[in-house]
Structure 1
Amino acid sequence: MCVEDDLATEFFADSQGRDQAQYTAEVLDSIHVVAGVSDGGAHVKFLTAGTYPTDMLTWLVRDEGVITLEDAHFKLSYLPAHFGGFRDRGAIKEGVPADIVVYDLDKLEVLPSEVAEDLPGGEWRRIQKANGYRWTMVNGEITFEDGEPTGAFPGRLLRNGIG
């Protein structure tokens, strides 16, 4: 079927595993599970997996109520930093660096995916934006305001728990 369609066939899973929110919450309840997905960008034409933070906040916290907001932020911020070896990142504490995302939970929504033709050689990829994010702050500077970049780049690359 894909060959006959000159590899232009697209597949879509309507529920995407969303049939039972409590099953996803049970998996996320483990201290050994970090919320998120990654394929290193290998499938940029087929999926937009980077929506999982917004999806987790809207679906599992706000709409279904199977995860608390505090647990969601622990899973989305502190735990990934901890597993990455960053002992002074991922939580807001006095005396430690913190990047902050300010949003309105009631207004958060994942928008439909769209095509961006911005890859080398004229290639395209799928992107998916969200509404409801007011500011993203890095090192005290606003880097995104209402979903738009401000042009500020106050951060630096951190590796192996060092930074």
Structure 2
Amino acid sequence: MHRRPNPGQEFLRGRTVGDVAREQGKAVFDALLDIVVADDLKTVFELPSRTEDDRSWRLRADLWRDERIIAGASDAGAHLDMIEGFASCTQLLSIGVRERGLLSLEEAVRQLTSVPAGLIGLRGRGLLKQGHWADIVVFDAGAIGPGTVHTRYDIPGGAGRIYSEATGIGNVIVNGQEVFRARQFCGNYPGAILCSGRDTDTVPLSAGSH
């Protein structure tokens, strides 16, 4: 269990329902119901990860290098209340690069920038190059990573979303203007909506190469 909205039950974070049931002398299902009722049905449960072994991480690296895969892709927030996929980029840089050495830092950055830009056909983006749009993230390679995951209730209507503040990011620059500095919003809104055809080139399916 994690991301508990009820501060009075914060001690349950990171524990299993089975452990709590045994401690309280209850059936597992009864313990589960008691927990979610006390949290107004907002408790989040997750299965323990079974893919943190060396082999699983090597398979991830194989996928990152596959020309059919976009390493930094997402579902654009379709499951923002239940899936932690938003941290995949910082996990790649922290675990995949720094901790396990499965990719070089340069290759990981390429997989998250020029590769997706090229496959999507974005014009003038994905590279630090004269004449391109200056979309830049300045980060500390020794500190980049996902922060603690928790739920924020800041969606219109009071709905919640799973959130994690990345660590190790110093500056975010969009279209040449600084947007974030040391986790603080700078008050600039230089971004723009990109339109297919106007801001993209058609990439043939047969291109198939990074």
What TM-score does the superposition give when structure 1 sets the normalisation length?
0.87
Shift of 1:161: 5.3
Unpaired segments of 5 or more residues in structure 1? Answer: none
Q: Secondary structure at the match of 2:172?
A: strand
- Report the more deviating stretch, 127-136 or 47-56: 47-56
Q: Secondary structure at the match of 2:157?
A: helix
Q: Deviations over 1:117-144 (max 9, x none)?
A: 1112222221111111000111221101
One of 49, 59, 64 as aligned partner of 1:15: 49
User: C-alpha separation between the residues in 1 aligned to 2:183 and 2:51?
Assistant: 28
Q: Which amino acid aligns with 1:15?
A: S
Aligned to 2:172: 136
Aligned to 2:124: 88
Aligned to 1:59: 95
Q: Deviations over 1:95-131 (max 9, x none)?
A: 2223111010111231111221111222222111111
Shift of 1:94: 2.2
Shift of 1:9: 5.8
Q: Which amino acid aligns with 2:53?
A: D
One of 122, 128, 137 as aligned partner of 2:158: 122
Q: Is the 8 A contact 1:85 1:161 kept in 2?
A: no
Aligned to 1:76: 112
Shift of 1:16: 5.9
Query: Which of the pair is proportionally richer in strand?
Result: 1
- Report the more deviating stretch, 29-38 or 58-67: 29-38
Alignment RMSD, CA only? 2.2
Q: Secondary structure at the match of 2:92?
A: helix
Q: Which amino acid aligns with 1:27?
A: L
User: C-alpha separation between the residues in 2 aligned to 1:32 and 1:49?
Assistant: 19
Shift of 1:48: 2.6
Unpaired segments of 5 or more residues in structure 2? Answer: 1-28, 200-210
Shift of 1:88: 2.3
One of 181, 206, 210 as aligned partner of 1:145: 181
Q: Is the 8 A contact 1:90 1:98 kept in 2?
A: no
User: C-alpha separation between the residues in 1 aligned to 2:95 and 2:134?
Assistant: 26
Count residues in correspondence. 162
Work out which of the two has the higher radius of gyration on C-alpha atoms and give 1 or 2: 2
User: C-alpha separation between the residues in 2 aligned to 1:142 and 1:158?
Assistant: 19
1:98-117 maps to which residues of 2 (within 5 A)? 98-117=134-153
Shift of 1:37: 4.5
Q: Secondary structure at the match of 1:114?
A: strand
